[in-house]
Chain A
Amino acid sequence: MKRLKKQFSLFSAIVDAFVEPPETIRYPFEPLNLPDVIRGALVLDTEKCSGCGLCVRNCPADALELDNKSRDEFRLIHYPARCAYCGQCEDSCRSGAIYHTNQLVKPITDPETCVVILHDKRG
Chain B
Amino acid sequence: MSATVLFDTPGPKARARSKAYTGITGLALAALLGWIGYRFWVTGQFDASMWARFEYTDVQWAIVQGLLTTLKVFAIAGAASLVLGAVLAVGRLSDHAPVRWVSAVIVEFFRAMPLVIMIYALYRWQFTDRPMWALVIGLTLYNGSVQAEVIRAGINAVPRGQAEAAYALGLRKSQVMRVVLVPQAVRSMLPTIISQLVVTLKDTSLGYVITYEELLYVGNQIAATTNTPNGFPYVQVMMVIAPIYIAMCLLLSWAARAIERRGGRTTSTGAALAGAGMAAGD
Is this pair of chains taken from one and the same complex?
A: no
Residues of B bordering A, CB below 8 Å: none
Residues of A bordering B, CB below 8 Å: none
